[in-house]
Structure 1
């Protein structure tokens, strides 16, 4: 669990500033007054006697100050005669202090390295009207970003800031999400409807070929769009989203993927909305964005934006309808699914230069999904990111940007 700021009661505590010998940085510690260390010579003598028997080595059980703003305790005597022996504790404290500081500002360094102007408008695309965020020059090549569940255009804010100097970056709320229209019927989220939205949006943007960047359900839509309209895509870039053929294969043959996909079964139930939205969307937050937040990669402002988007009328149902409309069959864990013929590469192939960037720590989509993918995507490049999970655009933005730029520069 992330460190949580703790209230300070000036009637029962005292706040001291202590300088670390290992880093030279000042730190604030909170002492209960009844346990505040004295400066008596006898106490100093005991502290000196502890030299060579550091608290990290022997397990200090004396006075332990609580770090101001954190729940962690730094196990050192104070004044600390051998703070240098507790470098791991000090490093952990600084890391968590930085995480808390990150959340108080609009974004942490490295996550959004450039400030760009993002404009918003509504674009009719046929059956529905989509809310669209844009950044960059209107005359530049279009880089179109498609988000997944339970995100919305905001998920691409950081990437848009990185590419807006060279491209016209466009990030819609897909149907059912954010400020876009959210039809109530499950049938409104079938693949052909979503593909039609993308085609209508590209036409509204001028009709030129686009660089299509997509994640999760946005990736599922992008795969289908690339199969149906390869001539509308200049380059396809997929982040942790399986091609339908390898997804079908793994859900038939890989018990690990079957277990990982059990949430599909929950999301298709009539009770899903109630469960996911209870206690201010607590279950949905923990299922999705909480790990990113706990790593200090999202601010409180980001969290509020997600909760607002989820709370719009009909939008949670709209997002869940993507699961309900999908033909993907997920059997209960521990059962054997019926064997079916794999999707024919002649029908389900993607004839577009494609880059797949995959976070290998994804617990919902196992790495086996990218094995053998070249049978359906002949012009394929795969980049594996060891330390990233499903939320790779948040966790490894530098790597994602570098892979995209390298792919585009070599392809022209």
Structure 2
């Protein structure tokens, strides 16, 4: 179901971020009992690609991929996932379990009158993409994951690799109520801004980018919605019914990721029946921002079956 939810504010933001030639729109979709804000672009008859952002971003993290995908003949949906930016922010931690997030994606695909799509995810969006592929394999034509571990691979690394355990410490800090929200909001979201700037190559995130992110973070209950993804994962870790991925899968990994060890890329790809692994030396966790052209090239090759 698509609701009539276009607004001047979101249309202006989309128009400023995505080339006007692709005619991207800001829409609202009713999915899985909630309402998502979704940027759509491309012909409805074209093959469907769903782009899933991570923390602490929103649809804007995929802005440089939207136009090339449309130009190559794809229909693109880039949602603000639940809890983020202009999407609905349901109450309670349980509303942010990974299986619920995966159901959002399956329902979003259905709003296009499709049974399946090419699903692409970065960071937490990649975690959701893995969950969709494992829990609802019929909904995924092709899977592409950028710097996000397969749940079983991540669990094994946490148990066996002290370095990965050390790198995951920050997730513990997000577990208490209200205090993480206070810390993230303090001094104009300095903590979240540093989480972007200090883990990426110098100049990756511009002042204009950070201003957009601060607006997204400042929306009512957005911080709680975003942090509830971590809280839900700690209380109810991702555990799909199968761990083998049948869909052809592309795993792209910036090797200089400060939070995820490179071994996770290899371990994650091993769960895929048909796989391509692309390691990017000298690139951080923020591949869509640091290497947008290379990532777009890889996504297009993968989508076309090359």
Corresponding residue of 2:7: none
Shift of 1:228: 1.5
The structure with the largest helix share of the pair is 2
Could you list the per-position Cα deviations for residues 342-365 of structure 1 after superposition, in whole angstroms to 9, with x for gaps in the alignment?
x89x82111111000000000011
Q: Distance in 2 between matches of 1:193 and 1:291?
A: 29
Q: Trace 1:230-245 onto structure 2 (pairs within 5 A).
A: 230-245=137-152
Residue 188 (structure 2) pairs with residue 280 (structure 1) = yes
Q: Distance in 1 between matches of 2:109 and 2:305?
A: 24
Residue 210 (structure 2) pairs with residue 298 (structure 1) = no
Corresponding residue of 1:389: 284
Shift of 1:118: 1.8
Higher RCO (CA-CA < 8 Å; seq separation 6+): 2
* Cα separation, partners in 2 of 1:349 and 1:167, compared to 1, 3 Å: same
Q: Trace 1:351-390 onto structure 2 (pairs within 5 A).
A: 351-390=246-285
Answer yes or no: is the 8 Å Cα contact 2:197–2:204 preserved in 1: no
Answer yes or no: is the 8 Å Cα contact 1:114–1:162 preserved in 2: no
Corresponding residue of 1:325: 232
Shift of 1:297: 3.4
Shift of 1:116: 3.3
Ranges in structure 2 where 5+ consecutive residues have no aligned partner: 1-15
Residue 159 (structure 2) pairs with residue 252 (structure 1) = yes
Q: Secondary structure at the match of 2:304?
A: helix
Ranges in structure 1 where 5+ consecutive residues have no aligned partner: 1-105, 331-342
Q: Secondary structure at the match of 2:113?
A: coil
Shift of 1:371: 2.6
Shift of 1:375: 4.1
Q: Secondary structure at the match of 1:139?
A: coil
Corresponding residue of 2:133: 226
- Tell me whether 117-126 or 147-156 shows the greater mean CA deviation: 117-126
Could you list the per-position Cα deviations for residues 112-133 of structure 1 after superposition, in whole angstroms to 9, with x for gaps in the alignment?
8896332011100022100000
Corresponding residue of 1:89: none
Answer yes or no: is the 8 Å Cα contact 1:113–1:162 preserved in 2: no
Corresponding residue of 2:176: 269
Q: Count residues with an aligned counterpart.
A: 288
* Cα separation, partners in 2 of 1:115 and 1:360, compared to 1, 3 Å: farther
* Cα separation, partners in 2 of 1:235 and 1:133, compared to 1, 3 Å: same
Residue 29 (structure 2) pairs with residue 134 (structure 1) = no
Q: Distance in 1 between matches of 2:283 and 2:122?
A: 14
Residue 90 (structure 2) pairs with residue 147 (structure 1) = no
Corresponding residue of 1:61: none
Could you list the per-position Cα deviations for residues 317-352 of structure 1 after superposition, in whole angstroms to 9, with x for gaps in the alignment?
00000000004799xxxxxxxxxxxx89x8211111
Could you list the per-position Cα deviations for residues 152-179 of structure 1 after superposition, in whole angstroms to 9, with x for gaps in the alignment?
0111111102211111111000000010
Q: Distance in 2 between matches of 1:161 and 1:328?
A: 38
Q: Distance in 1 between matches of 2:225 and 2:218?
A: 12
Residue of structure 2 aligned with 1:119, choices 2, 25, 41: 25
Q: Distance in 2 between matches of 1:284 and 1:200?
A: 30
Q: Distance in 1 between matches of 2:269 and 2:259?
A: 22
Q: Trace 1:143-182 onto structure 2 (pairs within 5 A).
A: 143-165=49-71, 166-182=73-89
Q: Secondary structure at the match of 1:319?
A: helix
Q: What is the aligned-residue RMSD (CA, Å)?
A: 2.2
**Greater radius of gyration (CA):** 1
Q: Secondary structure at the match of 1:246?
A: helix
Corresponding residue of 1:201: 108
Q: Distance in 2 between matches of 1:222 and 1:145?
A: 9
Q: Distance in 1 between matches of 2:234 and 2:176?
A: 15
| TM-score of the two chains, using structure 1 as the length reference | 0.66
Corresponding residue of 2:6: none
Answer yes or no: is the 8 Å Cα contact 2:42–2:70 preserved in 1: yes
Shift of 1:291: 5.1
Q: Trace 1:95-114 onto structure 2 (pairs within 5 A).
A: none
Q: Secondary structure at the match of 1:316?
A: helix
Shift of 1:209: 2.1
